[in-house]
Amino acid sequence: MAEFVEQIRTLKKKVDIDVPNPPSKKDDMEKFIGVPKLKNIGGKNPSGAKNKGSTREVRRKSEKEKAIDASLKPKRKCRECGVCTNTHTKKTCPLGPTAIAAPKAKEEMRRMWSAY
């Protein structure tokens, strides 16, 4: 068995001497392209991709927070019906001449607002 191992080792040494080392794939590509590969590229990877559209810088408020903010606003007097409110003004008054409402709805609104 030892003789067989020695024969294999001698054959391997002969093959290594007769056949040169094959070139690496990198060397083949450099020869094919004609430009050597750069060793050090000075650039850095981008910090991160940004999605399309604009970002929302202010957090979204819940309905409860919106109601609290609305109640803290100073109330304005409607010049049409005279009620202090944040829900409408003279232009948007439900009792105004430009409002499109049924007569019953107008009467109900007058009764409701006259209580204030």
Of 13-22, 67-76, 87-96, 101-110, the least confident = 101-110
pLDDT at residue number 32:
82
**C-alpha distances out from residue 12 to 6, 8, 36, Å:** 10, 6, 33
pLDDT at residue number 98:
65
Tens digit of each residue's pLDDT (9 = 90 or more) over 58-91: 888 899 999 898 889 888 888 888 888 888 888 8
Q: 78 with 72: CB under 8 angstroms?
A: no
pLDDT at residue number 4:
92
Burial category of 76 from C-beta neighbours within 10 Å (exposed 0-12, middle 13-18, buried 19 and up): middle
Q: Can you say whether the dihedral through the CA atoms of 12, 14, 19, 24 is positive or negative?
A: positive
Tens digit of each residue's pLDDT (9 = 90 or more) over 31-66: 888 887 777 777 777 777 777 777 667 888 899 999
pLDDT at residue number 63:
93
Q: State whether residue 32 is helix, strand or coil.
A: helix
Identify the residue with better confidence: 5 or 90. 5
Q: What does the domain layout of the chain look like in residue ranges?
A: 75-114
pTM exceeds 0.85: no
Q: 97 with 84: CB under 8 angstroms?
A: no
Please enumerate in sequence order all residues whose Cβ is within 8 A of that of 75, keeping only pairs 6 or more positions apart, or say none. 84, 85, 86
